[in-house]
Amino acid sequence: MAASWAEQLQRELAGRGLAVASIPGKGRGLVAARTFFPGEVIICQEPYVSTPNKILVGSSCDHCFVSNNLRKCSVCRVTWYCSSDCQKKEWKQHQLECRAMAALPEDRNKMLTPTIRLMVRLILKRKLQNEKVIPSSGIDNYYLVDVLESHISEVDENQLILYAQMANLVNLILPSLELDLKEIAHTFSKFACNAHTICDPELRPLGTGLYPVISIINHSCVPNAVLIFDGRTAYVRALQPISKDEEVSISYIETAAVTKKRHNDLKQYFFACACPRCVKGFQEDALLESYRCKNQACDGFLLPESGEKAYTCQKCNISRDEEEVKKMTREILLLSDKASSFLSSGNTTEAGSIYKIIEQLEQNLYHAFSITLLHTRETLLKIYMELQDWQTALTYCRSTIPVYERVYPPFHPMIGLQFYTCGKLEWLLECTEDALKSLTRAADILKITHGTKSQFMKELFGKLEEARAEVSFRLSSGHNHGEQF
């Protein structure tokens, strides 16, 4: 049976111009059997199972993941739906889960974490497919989950104990089924390195899903494709031309980071990345984590001077005393603790004022492309968006874009989304020409990463048309004031 499912998968993928192949040093991988062009959908898949992140508070519909008009299932009082249509579509699968959750004592509902619930749904879907209550297909069957790598032999003892405890919880929720607890513990390990975070179009996490075919795609820190969700449907689109016989790759992690940080983030997947960026990472890492030259007119970065207590600019050879650098670093650290404390206690205005001081200090200490400085500016952007200080927010939004363009590939959703934020802020501030430029850049990138048909993209195109019409009107009526900051 396993062989026939494998053959069926290869047939279904061949129809989409793809093949599963053995990749040296990586195991299985997805390979193009034809050319794919930028923006083209390589593969799309519904989750084998999925669950929203915030189960008990009702953050999104269990079927389509929208967050409007939510109503709780009147029986289990755990699942939420946005419409009777979504509830009907889920009913065959939810029926058994509903009964099991309704039978749980009130205090046990708290053990229904997203991961536990994902497992319960996986077990029940497998049962329903085995009993032919719901259909299976070449890209939607339990065999695909079964062959996913668990790396169980590499998992540390504490994690194994946790998986065993979680398997026992699943057993408590589904007492009527005869469950193999060891197999369930192994499957939890598969979740850790194969499940995907389902995000909204602006890359905010909504839930978790298991997409077994998409899990075949390997990681690269310089990927040629991107994974984006529309609702809970996963779309993998080409970011650049992908030739016949070329491996398709996506990024599993946030790639705006130095090599050491990226490798640390990849540990949960049990492999060391050997992509071109990781192999030749020194020059880029030096830039992303380095101190700036003391000479304000120089754009060089500092390197530690061997045997000396100083850092020397690789461009103009001016030195910076190590003690001076340490003193500034300590000052930033103290202020950062203070700012974080204000932020977590809800004092956003005070936090913003301190982060502004931090940003000034970091500008004097770090190189313009520093990831540390970038993160501070991202925090300031969020703070001033929340405070509705659009002018200040725009200043910080604009300051992040050159770094994004440095650390991400040209067609990366993060660059497109940042231009979109810029465009919306410029529109609010009536900087219409600037808004048109930013929204155009956003649309050029996001139509590659997000496609053109989603509600999110229709809204972007609508804003772009509005800005275009306004600029055209101003030009024709002689009201072009050449807005500037």
* Whole-number CA gyration radius for the chain: 25
- What percent of the chain has pLDDT above 70? 96
pLDDT tens sequence across 134-152: 999 999 999 999 999 999 9
Give the chain's largest Cα–Cα span.
77
Q: What is the DSSP string of 232-274?
A: TEEEEEESS-B-TTPBPEE-SS--SS-HHHHHHHGGGGT----
**Average confidence (pLDDT) over 440-468:** 97
Hey, how many other C-beta atoms are within 10 angstroms of the C-beta on 84? 9
pLDDT digits (tens, 9 = 90+) for 163-174: 999 999 999 999
pLDDT band of residue 479 (cuts 50, 70, 90) is low
pLDDT at 111: 80
- Cβ distance 238 to 224 under 8 Å? yes
Q: What is the mean pLDDT of residues 114-142?
A: 95
pLDDT digits (tens, 9 = 90+) for 369-383: 999 999 999 999 999
At 281, is the pLDDT very low, low, confident or very high (cuts 50, 70, 90)? Answer: confident
pLDDT confidence of residue 124: 97
> What is residue 34's predicted lDDT score, i.e. its pLDDT?
98
Q: Is the pLDDT of residue 233 over 50?
A: yes
How far is Cα 178 from Cα 184, in angstroms, rounded to an integer?
12
1, 14, 26, 266: which is closest to 149 by C-alpha?
A: 26
- Joined together, the tokens standing for residue 175 give 């007492």
Q: What is the DSSP string of 329-341?
A: HHHHHHHHHHHHH
- Quote the pLDDT of residue 438: 98
Answer whether residue 63 shows pLDDT above 60.
yes
Identity (one letter) of the amino acid at 137? Answer: S
- pLDDT for the residue numbered 478: 67
Distances (CA, A) of 279 to 77, 240, 275: 51, 21, 6
Which residues are 160's β-sheet partners?
Answer: none
**Confidence at residue 484, expressed as pLDDT on a 0 to 100 scale:** 46
99-136 b/e (C-beta count within 10 Å ≥ 16 → b): ebbeebeeeeeeebebbbbbbbbbbbbbebbeeeeeeb
The answer, yes or no, to whether residue 110 has pLDDT greater than 80, is: no
Judged against a pLDDT cut of 80, whether residue 303 lies above it is answered with: no
Helix (H) / strand (E) element for 326: namely helix 322-344
- Looking at residue 57, its pLDDT comes to 64
Q: In this structure, are residues 203 and 41 in contact, taking their beta carbons and an 8 Å threshold?
A: no
Instruction: Please determine, for residue 306, whether its predicted confidence score (pLDDT) is greater than 60.
Output: no
Q: Which residue has the higher pLDDT, 375 or 56?
A: 375
pLDDT for residue 3: 64
Question: Cα(415)–Cα(402) distance, rounded to whole angstroms?
Answer: 9
| Residues paired with residue 49 on neighbouring β-strands, in sequence order | 210
- For residue 226, the surrounding DSSP H or E stretch is strand 225-230
Is 47 in contact with 197 (CB distance < 8 Å)?
Answer: no
Q: How far is CA 103 from CA 76, 109, 172, 461, in A?
A: 8, 10, 11, 48
pLDDT at 282 exceeding the cut of 80: no
Gap between the Cα atoms of 320 and 163, Å rounded: 51
User: Are 222 and 277 in contact, with CB atoms under 8 Å apart?
Assistant: yes
Query: Tokens standing for 461?
Result: 């195109």
Mean pLDDT of 317-343: 93
| Range from 238-247, 317-326, 469-478 that averages highest in pLDDT | 238-247
- pLDDT tens by residue, 403-416: 999 999 899 999 99
User: Beta partners for 140?
Assistant: 137
Question: Which of 406, 329, 314 minimizes the C-alpha distance to 365?
Answer: 329
Give the mean pLDDT of the chain.
92
